Chains A and B, each alone.
Chain A
Amino acid sequence: MSDKNTYIEQVGAYLDGDLTGGELNLFESELASNKSLAQEVSSQKELIEGIKSYRKSELIARLDNLSIGSAGIITSSLTKFIGGAVILGGIGFGLYQWMMPVQKTTENIETPIEEQIEVPKEEISQMEPDEQIKPAKSIDVAEVPSQKPSTSNEKQKEVIEKQVVIPVVPNPEVEDDNEVEDDLEIPDTNIGTTDITEKSGMEVDIVIGSNYSFHYKVVRGNLTLYGNFNEEPYQIIEINVEKEKQWYLYFKEIYYSIDKSVDEITPLRRISNESLIHELEKVKNKNF
């Protein structure tokens, strides 16, 4: 094999992640000083991107050619939604979840956090159609924040994330009349039932490194959490009861209440009411 081929082969191996240890170090130090090698790497990267882009277009073209027809949500399932809503004793709820980023360097940054959704194992066995009927609710799963290096000199605190939550509250009254197969999984998302039409627009800020270790405040409908909420995934459960929304925090297997009228930094209080915990548990488990 010629030197040129070996050279290209090495670039390929580097981009495919096949170089390790000494080989990798050697290649990277060469890359830092060799302009033509850097150019080759860049052009090979584009080549790979072009391959991916081609495949993506191919799949999208395939999907584009599909006829949607009657697939979708049907009104006959609506009563089941509402039945579920009654069980919840609420009108609808939104569940918001933030998860820790995946520590995978090869992960595309466009990739959402879907793999990090923690679901009790037993849910896998709950995939039978009849059991898929869900109460009225909406789930909003937030995105992994891109972790930026902290600028500790600027501020003591570090805001690592700002999330805009846009709960969707569809009106099932205007649901289309399409029919659907019996085994259609009722969306465990977005099934509001009655009179809530506004969007909450809730935002969540996380502040770590401040003087407050496990606190919160709510200002103009936006929640700020103080503490090491980057250590483990947390969930914010929003339950829409008549004319108001109640928020609960689930963190490290404990539920906390959030008083929306608290605009001063306040310690988070653990919920001790067993029946409320039970209800929240049900809500959480039905979603994830």
Chain B
Amino acid sequence: MNEKEIFDRICSGDEGALDLVYTKYYRMMTKLVISNSGTEQEAKDIYQEAVVVFWQKAISGNLVMTSKMSTYIYSICFNLWRKELERKKRLTHEAKDSSEFQDHDRQERIKIIGQCVNDLDDTCRKVLTYFYFDGMSMTEIAERLGFANTNTAKTKKYKCKQKLDALVKRRYSAQDFLD
């Protein structure tokens, strides 16, 4: 399979093609971080994040690939790692302030929402993640999930979001009770 075919498959939502890309460039990309004072774990984290960004861009249909995939992913890795280095540098100069703790609280809430998404049924999970993360249109979602039409997909999305909202509120209340 050549590069264009792989890219087309990724654009059509084939996660298997993403796996191929991930393994193919793993060493090349992680080396960037490791050669620039990163650990292996950091290298892996950065690369995984870069691949996810690449996926998101590709599948949303907003990405026109005019460079090689490796060049593209490399630039994402580079930027992410640079950002991480800057963050680390800032942390060494500044004491952890209250905003970080506030951020921690927020992260906790996001985590709870994530758990609730996991508790949704498969269709709801897909509708919401395809729309909000993968950036698919309602028409694409309708096609992919076999809904009768775009309106059905829209209604489904609305209901799934309501369901998620209710789940999260229940979970928050339970959490408050436990705290």
Contact = CB atoms under 8 A, between A and B. Distances in A.
A64 B36 contact: no
Nearest to A176: B27
Contacts of B22: 63, 66
A124 B2 CA distance: 11
Given A62-B15, A170-B35, A51 B75 contact: no
Contacts of A31: none
Contacts of A178: 27
Given A8-B162, A113-B79, A141-B79, A185 B68 contact: yes
Given A49-B110, A52-B133, A117 B53 contact: no
Interface string B15-54: 1001100111111100110011000000000001101111
A55 B110 contact: no
A117 B75 contact: yes
B41 to A, nearest CB: 11
Contact of A114 (B51, B72, B116, B125): B72
B58 to A, nearest CB: 11
A47 B68 contact: no
Nearest to B109: A46
A184 B27 CA distance: 12
A183 B23 CA distance: 13
A283 to B, nearest CB: 14
A65 to B, nearest CB: 9
Given A49-B110, A50-B117, A185-B3, A114 B36 contact: no
Nearest to B169: A43
A112 B26 contact: no
Contacts of B9: none
Contact of B110 (A53, A64, A110, A117): A53
B4 interface: yes
Q: Interface centre among A115, A184, A199, A287, by most B CB within 10 Å?
A: A115
B151 to A, nearest CB: 14
B164 A118 contact: no
A187 B70 contact: yes
A139 B29 CA distance: 12
Contacts of A265: none
A47 B52 contact: no
A47 B26 contact: no
B128 interface: yes
A189 interface: yes
Contacts of A187: 25, 28, 70, 74
A168 B31 CA distance: 9
A101 interface: no
A68 B23 contact: yes
Contact of B66 (A123, A176, A181): A123
B3 A127 contact: yes
Interface string A26-43: 000000000000000001
A67 B24 CA distance: 11
Interface in B92-129: 106, 109-114, 116-118, 125, 128-129
Nearest to A180: B24
A66 B128 CA distance: 25
B66 A121 contact: yes
B161 A47 contact: yes
Given A59-B51, A183-B2, 20 more contacts: A9-B158, A43-B165, A46-B110, A47-B165, A54-B118, A55-B129, A63-B22, A68-B26, A71-B26, A73-B31, A111-B53, A112-B79, A114-B54, A115-B57, A168-B32, A168-B36, A185-B24, A187-B25, A187-B28, A187-B74
Across chains A and B, which 5 residue pairs bring their CB atoms closest together, nearest first? A50-B113, A72-B27, A112-B79, A141-B75, A55-B133
30 contacts: A12-B158, A12-B161, A47-B168, A50-B109, A50-B112, A51-B128, A53-B110, A54-B113, A55-B134, A58-B129, A60-B49, A63-B51, A68-B23, A68-B27, A69-B23, A110-B83, A111-B57, A112-B53, A112-B79, A114-B57, A115-B63, A117-B75, A127-B4, A129-B2, A142-B79, A168-B35, A170-B35, A189-B74, A190-B31, A288-B67
